[in-house]
Copies of this chain bind each other. A is one copy, B any other.
Amino acid sequence: MTSVPYLAALSALLGLGLAVYYYKLVEKAPAGNDRMVFLMTEIQKGARAFLQKEYQWVAGFAVVLAVLLAIVIAPLAAVSYLLGAVLSAAAGYAGMTVATMANARTTEAAKSGPSEALPVAFRGGAVMGFSVAGLGLLGLMFTYLLFVEWLAVDDAFEILTAYGLGGSTIALFSRVGGGIYTKAADVGADLVGKVEAGIPEDDPRNPATIADNVGDNVGDVAGMGADLFESYVGSIIAPISLVAFFLGLTADDASADGVLPLLVFPMAIAFVGMIASIIGSFLVKGGDSTDSHALSRALHMGTNVAMGITVVATIGVAYWLFSGDEFDQPIGLAISVIGGLIVGWALGKTAEYYTSDHYGPVKKIAAQSETGPATTVLSGVSTGMVSVAASVGLILAGVGIAYWGGQLAFVDELDDFGGIYGIAVAAIGMLATTGVVVSVDAYGPIADNAGGIAEMAELDPSVRDVTDALDSLGNTTAAVAKGFAVGSAALTALALFKSFEFALAAEGADLNLNIGQVETFIGLFIGAGLPFLFAALTIDAVGRAANQMIEEVRRQFREIPGLREGKEGAIPDSARCVAISTEASLKEMVIPGSLAVVVPLVVGFINTDALGGLLAGALVTGFALAIFMANSGGAWDNAKKYIEAGHHGGKGSDPHKAAVVGDTVGDPFKDTSGPAMNILLKVMTIVSLVFASAFV
């Protein structure tokens, strides 16, 4: 059993090797004509410039937090914190660099048909997928081995948790900053380009087009990568710290019988999932058919096989680790993990049901667009709100199954702890296959960008048809990753919340989480209000950043002669749009981002009971609000696409205009506020956990 961390580290190295291999394959693929290379390079330059600047801003923040950690917790906590942050940033940077290399190459391959292009786009995404999973797991195992096994330092588990906080910091700012960027550019490009100037999407005349494509990469690729890095790492850390803080473990206790299996179980699942992801990734092949069902099957083959392997292997791992006398039924924790996986899958399907135009809700919104934008907005709001109820039901089913499984696995006296441990490991079920899940998820924006390049490079429409077909596959795949991200966020935050409680108890400060107590109740109230404030701040941030873009695009159309008419030699100043988006979104990122770290620290130093209430209130309300915003936004988006596909009058009709209003309202909902909310919850919880000993 002591070999598990080494095995996990080894599998992480394999994953990284695979990322390098895919990188080479992408690099070898032809990137097309000069115009395509130019566009690709512009997008890449813009995206890298954004990430570099973003990391500079975040570095300042991270250094302050690292100093605080070094002073109030332990100097080594600052080290592991910075390691987590640097690795997450590195994974995001590497993955995004390759994603922006893969876009033009996908376009070029699309000239030969979808079965050629699909693997290029997938491999581009796979570099992100395996960078995230590989670096995340490798760094975590290194931190564990170094501080727990080899050096056996004091506060080893606080230090391990700080690694997760590092990843969370990057994720928070990436989601907020990237989310603001992508929507500011999108709104700026659409509003002036499509609506005012009357030119189509991705038209080369529009100065904001490059910024829009950059936005896809910094928001959907880098932001999503950082998000999954922190979710993945957090899901492994949560059960480990739960055990450590519950038992008050020091590093020396870590190899005790009855403890060791609990510590290495999450790592073993991560190992299994990594190997399964690697195998799965090789099964994504183009095939001969160009039929969309066949393509979709090809793309999902990897994920499905990887999950199947993980499920089977989890049962084996559970029997291997939990057959000792200290445990009751070994199958129990396998039930928790698999239950988590199924609930995550069901959450994704629920999101798909409420946001895909194959089902009733989106069709209803599209029908409501017949009576104008107001009814479109209202039916999107109610659709998102109903989906909250369905998702809450699923999460609670997941919590129930995982809790029951955990109880089965433990002897009677530890029933309650076992249940909580079951909840903690349930999140790993969803995220063990992060490597391949992120690969498929990052595929989406690459295919989207490939279409943009085909349009901007004015290639034959048949190329655009192919990239559109690939792009439409991406939309449904995102649902699975989304379900996992949301579901694991709730479960991980819950497990971290319990760890926080145990950590305080270990310091002799019993947390009174009774909501009948006034301090706890006040905390609960503050916690319920915070997600609303966070959503308001991010929505307003998008609005302000978008306004700057709009002004700039208008200025260029006004001041650059012949630009609107598309005259030879009239070249838009895309770089300036990119720079404005970058500056504006980074400036806007600071306040909402800091909120997540500052509020729990301030409340925690005043009263830990109130902090406990705050975390619980923020978790339940934030989860509901995140689901509402994500699904309303997704539903409006697809209602618009449904109309564009020729229903209710099609493009340019009044219902279409109404649907565009819904879509624009939904943009910051689904791409800025909603996704950032999940991380907000976890950052607040993990900050509280890491600083728990300092609060007392």
Contacts and interface: CB of A to CB of B under 8 A. Distances in A.
B494 A536 contact: no
30 contacts: A372-B664, A373-B373, A373-B374, A374-B662, A374-B665, A375-B543, A379-B540, A381-B665, A382-B535, A383-B536, A386-B536, A388-B532, A389-B532, A389-B533, A393-B529, A399-B522, A400-B522, A416-B518, A420-B518, A423-B518, A511-B516, A512-B514, A513-B514, A515-B524, A524-B620, A525-B623, A529-B624, A532-B624, A617-B620, A621-B624
Contacts of A374: 373, 660-662, 664-665
A134 interface: no
A521 interface: yes
Q: Count this chain's copies in the assembly.
A: 2
A532 B385 contact: yes
Contacts of A388: 529, 532-533, 536
Given A372-B664, A374-B661, A378-B543, 5 more contacts: A375-B664, A388-B532, A396-B525, A399-B521, A515-B616
Contacts of A178: none
Nearest to A399: B522
B665 A533 contact: no
A333 to B, nearest CB: 16
A395 interface: yes
A157 B390 CA distance: 38
A521 B535 contact: no
B399 A518 contact: yes
A368 interface: yes
A351 to B, nearest CB: 15
A386 B494 contact: no
A371 interface: yes
Contacts of A516: 497-498, 501, 511, 513, 612
A527 interface: yes
A302 interface: no
A469 interface: no
Contact of A521 (B494, B527, B537): B494
Interface in A493-509: 494, 497-498, 501
Nearest to A368: B543
Contacts of A494: 521
A616 B521 contact: yes
A386 B372 CA distance: 27
Contact of A532 (B377, B396, B628): B628
A156 B157 CA distance: 56
Contacts of A547: 371
A498 B521 CA distance: 11
Interface string A607-625: 0000011001100110110
Given A372-B661, A621-B620, A621-B624, A385 B536 contact: yes
The residue among A195, A389, A501, A536 with the most chain B CB atoms within 10 A of its own CB is A536
Contacts of A389: 529-530, 532-533, 536
Contacts of A373: 373-374, 661
A70 interface: no
A23 interface: no
B522 A624 contact: no
Given A379-B543, A514-B513, A528-B623, A396 B536 contact: no
A403 interface: yes
